[in-house]
Amino acid sequence: MNILDIGVDVIEIERIKKAISKNAKFIDKIFTEREIEYFESKGFKAESIAGNFAAKEAVSKSIGKGIRGYDFKDIEILRNELGKPIVKTYNNLERICIDYNVLEIKISISHCKEYAVANAIAIIKE
């Protein structure tokens, strides 16, 4: 296995709080139903939402395209049974990953009082 690219993103949690309060459709526009279910299970904490947002940005950078040719909802950040974040791709992004021979995208998310950060690595076939 080889690495296609890596991506990292950091975001102010306050910025996500403001986006949510200013635009009632923000969450529905950016996140999938399963992500929203996860946020609900966490009490819609801004740091959880910001972490997933940063993860989507990091994933887009690990593919090397940014958010071009696909939508935010084409990236889904879920958690496995141990709480580890996992990446699922859909629609146009899934096709891009097939074209680029992406086997898996690894993701790590963290946050503190003011910031959320995520790191992604796109792993490709040799």
pTM for this one?
0.94
- DSSP code of 104? E
- 18-31: pLDDT as tens digits: 999 999 899 999 99
For 79, list phi and psi in degrees, rounded to 5: -130, 145
Asked whether the beta carbons of 101 and 48 are under 8 A apart, the reply is no
Instruction: Give the number of domains in the chain.
Output: 1
Rounded Cα gap, residues 2 and 22, in angstroms: 42
Strands 85-89 and 75-79: antiparallel
Residue 5 annotated as binding site: no
Residue 99 annotated as binding site: no
- 59-109: pLDDT as tens digits: 999 999 888 889 999 999 999 999 999 999 999 999 999 999 999 999 999
Structural domain including 80 reads: 2-124
Q: Which CATH number is 71's domain given? A: 3.90.470.20
Rounded Cα gap, residues 18 and 62, in angstroms: 27
